[in-house]
Amino acid sequence: MQLEEIRKNPAKKILQFSVPAIISMVLTALITVADGFFMGNYVGKEGIAAVNLGLPMIYLYLGVGLMISIGGVAVAGMALGSGDTDFANQVFRQTITTTVIVSGLISIILVFCFSPMLSVLRADEITKGYFREYYRIMLLELPVMVVNSSFGMFIRGEGNPKFFMKVTVVNVLLNVAFDYIFSAVLSLGAAGIAMASLVSALVSFVCILYYFLGGADACGYEKVSFQQAKLSFQRAKVYRLGKFHFSFKLCIRGILNGSSEFIGEMSTGIAMFAYNFVIMKKFGVDGVTAFTIVGYVSYLFSMVIVGFGQGSSPLISFCYGAEEKTLAAAIRKRTNRYVFLAGAAVVLVMALFSEPYSRVFVRNESVQTMIRAGMMIFMTSFFFSGINSITSFYFTATGRAFASAAISFSRGLFVLLICIFTLPVLFGMTGVWMAAPVTEVVTIGITAGFLYRENWAGGKIYRENQAGGGNLY
């Protein structure tokens, strides 16, 4: 990564890093959508509801993984920006090791949480059965997924985002293929769909492991071709697995720096539990199923946001570490423009195709009606969520954890929980759909406040480069 290249054409660099990350994240999200398709068509609406009831556990994994990994990548990125490659490698090794240990411990603990969770949510016996069937296997897959994601962040951080994109493509193709084989051909039900995720994640892990372990030359990318398989693998340029000296101080620094992402994901998990509790109590399995299917669109768009965030974060950290703080802020602004336009595009597409979309996953007319009624209300949140998220990524990448955490806490927990427990009481199922957009509108005010502080009260950090460029996006 060269500072002059970023300075010369920041838009090109943002897209160069972000587009492969977006493709990787969207493809990863498509795994969830594909699982939902096969679950709805070969297991039933109760299977879709069962998967959604367990989403708080998934967000726990994601939260812990992002907290450790994003914090570590930010510290390593600033080290690379200052020219300290050895320290960056130490950060990488410690981050990966910590991710492996912590994610494994989470799986052991969650085994004992199935029954209490299902009891609180008041799930029926059919849904409970599918839940246990699916998540017993997913507790093996989720640590692998988190570790793969952590590796991917460092792969992008050293300037090779296309490699991880290729690995993700393989992961998705294998997952969809095994989904079909295990559910449609072998009729293994919810367990088969979970098994498909596990097998494809393990294959991806092996490919990534080779990237960081294969060969002795660490001076540059080296391609090793396997003619029979017609595959080509690259090896890491900067980061290499190996021995390291554990630093408690470094661990705390990384965790604090990634705390906003942990808060964001954990808040989402708590919010999802609250959503499920309220919807299951008032509207039953049909309501949870409809919310889950609408949520697939939201999940896909959130992956676009995360892709832009993960693509721009290494650039921001690098520039910030090189004392190019104005350039770092300019990258944030341009990225915000991109996510706003992406959100508008998704809203337009779904406005045109919400009816056929509602028929893809379930045949139940009641559920389809709920989906069509709530789709457009829910998706107005997309105009604001990208700006809130990217700004949070920006503050994390520049080491300002408090501002990032405040934005994440607001949109992911505090304001959202108030909306979840009040709006459905006032407006029924419409209130469920309103919770997300109302939350994002309130949070955009908080985001604007932090940016105003940076632009004016802390003006030494940020200066406008273009007349009239002081807007959020």
DSSP labels for 69-83? HHHHHHHHHHHHHTT
Q: What is the pLDDT of residue 161?
A: 75
Residue 248 and residue 418: Cα distance in Å, rounded? Answer: 37
Q: Are 110 and 64 in contact (CB under 8 A)?
A: no
- 8: which 2 tokens? 């010369």
Q: What is the DSSP letter of 113?
A: G
Q: Where are the alpha helices (DSSP H) in 380-428?
A: 382-397, 401-409, 415-427
Q: Are 306 and 149 in contact (CB under 8 A)?
A: no
CA proximity to 204, closest of 193, 192, 216, 196: 196
Residue 380 and residue 351: Cα distance in Å, rounded? Answer: 11
Instruction: Give the residues of the chain that fall short of pLDDT 50.
Output: 215-232, 457-473
Q: What is the pLDDT of residue 473?
A: 39
Longest dimension (CA), the chain: 64
- 137: helix, strand or coil: helix
- 7: which 2 tokens? 């300075």
Q: What is the pLDDT of residue 180?
A: 94
Q: What is the pLDDT of residue 468?
A: 45
- Phi and psi for 461 in degrees, rounded to 5? -85, -40
Q: What is the pLDDT of residue 2?
A: 66
